[in-house]
Copies of this chain bind each other. A is one copy, B any other.
Amino acid sequence: MLDALLATPAVLRLVDLALEEDLGRGDVTTEAVIDRDATATAQLVARESLVLAGLGLCTLVFQRVDAEVVAAESAKDGDRIAAGTAVASYRGRAASLLAAERTALNFVQRLSGTATLARAFVEAAAGSRLRIADTRKTTPGFRLLEKYAVRVGGASNHRCDLGSGLLIKDNHVAVAGGVRQAVEKARGRAPHGLRIEVEVDSLAELEEALAAGADVILLDNFSPADLDRAVARTGPLPQRPLLEVSGGVTLRRIPELARAGVDIVSVGALTHSARAVDLSLDIGINGPGQ
């Protein structure tokens, strides 16, 4: 996604919430101690090896606080950055840089954390046809941003919301009276641009899903052995439906899943439990006269 398309009204609202919560009462320290004419230059530096994501958003935060901050980005989202490397510099009023610092870092550290973790999963599946996909287990308010970070890391997006993907889960099956009935209802009523995906918990349900003509089948918490059986049963693409795996998948299991021949594995941890990676701002005060 282009940065221009990432600054949606909802993302700007989130940025405003973040600025308001940190800057909404002013910055008493800076106001007490820093001369209002002082200018400074700040380097954004990676403190560990990471995959960068959200650099444009970081810049947007600085410039939303003070439109006169001048930015120079020297890396781009998706780049693998070595520890100690500067990825951008910001120049402007010292007070503005100090005020925006924490909010800007909180965004870029978090998104780069997700991109870095996604990259690790993707690399663990390298050489196979296994796609690493995210889930809807995102930080509330960050859905668009975190799904972008997932792509930046090289992984794929699952449906972005409840309206843009059709995924029949166990509860839907229970109400509909069975996998087949649920899939048929969905085929009749859902928008025609959406594939019909159904979650199955057993090989028996897999049979039902195949019979019903599901487009994608989500194998939930299948044992390795059952996974092999499921793949064997469904046969080769493109005749068969896509096979997706989910359920507490760790980085360690990726090679095994890649070998098993499934198409997609969805990993909630990419967005719900990625730690923030370490980026910091080195600020050098230029003095009052620019």
Interface residues of A (CB under 8 A from B): 1-2, 4-5, 8-10, 13-36, 38, 40, 65-68, 93-96, 98-99, 102-103, 105-107, 109-110, 113, 131, 133, 136-144, 147-148, 156-169, 171-172, 174-176, 182, 185-186, 188-195, 197, 213, 215-216, 238, 242, 244, 263-264, 269, 272-273, 275-276, 283, 285
Contact = CB atoms under 8 A, between A and B. Distances in A.
A107 B215 CA distance: 32
A92 to B, nearest CB: 9
B272 A276 contact: yes
B96 A189 contact: no
A212 to B, nearest CB: 12
Copies per assembly: 6
Contacts of A190: 28-29, 32
Contact of A4 (B93, B144, B171, B186): B93
A4 B99 CA distance: 10
A198 B95 CA distance: 18
A216 B139 CA distance: 34
Nearest to A8: B24
Nearest to A266: B192
A182 B33 contact: yes
A140 B148 CA distance: 17
Nearest to A9: B16
Contacts of A141: 14, 17-18, 21, 141
